[in-house]
Chains A and B, each alone.
Chain A
Amino acid sequence: MKIENVVCPFCGCLCDDIVVEVEDNRITAVTKTCSVSRSFFLHAHTGPAHPTVDGQEVEWPEALDVTARILADSASPLIYGLSSTASEAQRKAIALADLLGASIDSTSSVCHGPTTIGIQNQGEPTCTLGEVKHRADLVVFWGCNPAEAHVRHFARYSVSARGKLTPQGRKDRTVVVVDVRPTRSSRTADVFLQPRPGCDYEVLTAMRALLKGETSDVAEVGGVSVAQLVDLLERMKSCRFGVIFFGMGVTQTGGKYLNIAELLALVAELNAYTRFTTMPMRGHGNVAGADCTLTWQTGYPFAINFARGYPQYNPGEFTAVDLLARQEADAALIIASDPVAHFPRRAAQWLSQIPTIVLDPEVNLTAREARVVLPTAVYGVSAAGTAYRMDNVPLPLKKIVDSPQPTDEQVLDWIIERVKT
């Protein structure tokens, strides 16, 4: 059986044109995918069959009882992950955090958390990927490498995509890459600017000054010549519709949210000349959904704590890396995420010192250290649900094959019932 228009739930592109062939309840072939998506779909059936407690297979009721006891006995539990699960499950995780008085944080905090803080400071002149496809004639990628991390972004939305006002695709666009190193993305660009590491703030500030008509008495800023900056600004002012996509190159370096606020300010000021927009390159398939769901449930996008009975927000205090590195969390529920594979070692190590519960379709590195492992269905493969694309457009994920495993939403419901009793 061939199923068309399947949404790939892996990265923030949420490509919705995938064709999946299914035989005997197994995915046998996929087309239109990138190599990462292909690997995702073809290996989506390899998870464990049973829950485990202390490495021993157990039945679901026992695993859920142990889970509820750990969480109910915890004085300072942490719920973390959320970005590779559906928004229906994210709602349940927030309800559980509320019930427990827990901290809840998503992978945003080690991804575009600084972007969110920057947006809270500065506002966000943004658009949808549909507008980029149909209108954008100047596309800037700043500190991101979509050719490796968002492989079909160029073809579906931003570079070679053919839209109503960009009928010739790539020929109708000027592509600029700003990065501290040459990448597969920079090799496809018309213009490549290479600042020194950690100098994005200086470069952006210089651009804002030049845009305001200031003149420069230096030849270069942060490794980029002023002539190059003037040239880029002329391109920006004279384009019909511009967009800056940005990534970890700006959020993970010194300055963090200050870099983002400066970039957002530049984009806002460019709107005195033309329509100019910006968008973070969100990594995981529903990390944008984690921000959206947390915000409409609690008022805050990440780094939230319910210990006082109402939501409090404070990055640096209620963010997962900080809670773990300071050894403040005394139990952890990890949903659809692998912090042991992606957190600084000092934070990851604390997860093996406290009772940790993992909800995930696969045995990842965090599950190896966990007290309880609860295997769940894969949203977009063996469960239906909702995910938000990187432009905050929600898309329905399909159920393509049956799974013996429950969904994250069902398991969180079961945990909530047990914690209440």
Chain B
Amino acid sequence: MPKFILITGRTTGQGEALHKGKESDEYRQATGLVEMNHLDRERLASLAPQGWGEPGGGQRVRVRTAFGEAELELRESDLPEGMIFVPLGPAANALIGAETRGTGMPDSKGLEAEVEPLVTSPPKLGGIEGGIV
């Protein structure tokens, strides 16, 4: 599977949605996505199973790091090629490790990640044991 550099961070959508409740659909949607460059997306589409990315079917992917994985909705953005972005939230947490190298701060940016296209129905995202695989 193609390898990417993972960046996590705040977005306005995540900031607005968290006030509507962390169990709201808005929060799940705002934190349950991954962004990538359109050229990377096209390369990914060429590897995808039939039906992936069809209208109405969504573009679900599984993002995997050395620490965990999460199923996310793919969105195109103007990120540089080879980089993906996941908003702060339960999905991002599943992807980052707890090692802080003596600082208290985990490596939340710059992780190596794989992205795999999925043809599935959207999982239910939740807290620690939610739908994040």
Q: Which residues of A contact B (CB under 8 A)?
A: 35-36, 39-40, 42-44, 46, 105, 109-110, 113-114, 117, 145, 148-149, 151, 180-182, 194, 197-198, 248-249, 251-254, 256-257, 283, 302-303, 315-316, 319-322, 324-325, 338, 340-349, 351-352, 362-365, 368-369
- Say yes or no: B10 contacts A145, CB within 8 Å: yes
- Say yes or no: B93 contacts A344, CB within 8 Å: yes
Q: What chain A residues lie within 8 Å of B67 (beta carbons)?
A: 344-346
* B interface SS class: loop
New contact pairs (5) apart from A338-B22, A368-B127, CB-CB < 8 Å: A283-B10, A325-B98, A365-B22, A365-B90, A365-B128
- Say yes or no: B101 contacts A256, CB within 8 Å: yes
- Say yes or no: B102 contacts A315, CB within 8 Å: yes
- Say yes or no: A110 contacts B105, CB within 8 Å: yes
Residue from the set A149, A342, A348, A365 with the largest chain B CB neighbour count within 10 Å? A365
With A and B bound together, what is the CA distance between A342 and B22 in angstroms? 12
Q: What chain A residues lie within 8 Å of B7 (beta carbons)?
A: 180-181, 197
With A and B bound together, what is the CA distance between A349 and B130 in angstroms? 12
Q: What chain A residues lie within 8 Å of B16 (beta carbons)?
A: 35-36, 39
| Total contacting residues, chain B, CB less than 8 A | 47
- Say yes or no: A35 contacts B21, CB within 8 Å: no
Choose among B21, B83, B103, B110 the residue that contacts A316 (Cβ–Cβ < 8 A): B103
- Say yes or no: A316 contacts B93, CB within 8 Å: no
List, sorted by A's number, 7 A–B pairs whose CB atoms are closer than 8 Å: A248-B108, A256-B101, A256-B103, A320-B104, A342-B89, A362-B21, A365-B90
Q: What chain A residues lie within 8 Å of B106 (beta carbons)?
A: 110, 252, 321, 343-344, 347
With A and B bound together, what is the CA distance between A363 and B27 in angstroms? 14
Q: Which residues of B contact A (CB under 8 A)?
A: 5, 7-12, 15-23, 67-68, 78-80, 83, 85, 88-90, 93-94, 96-110, 127-129, 132
Q: What chain A residues lie within 8 Å of B68 (beta carbons)?
A: 345
Q: What chain A residues lie within 8 Å of B85 (beta carbons)?
A: 181
Choose among B18, B102, B105 the residue that contacts A252 (Cβ–Cβ < 8 A): B105
With A and B bound together, what is the CA distance between A362 and B109 in angstroms? 29
With A and B bound together, what is the CA distance between A113 and B105 in angstroms? 7
Residue from the set A151, A320, A347, A369 with the largest chain B CB neighbour count within 10 Å? A347
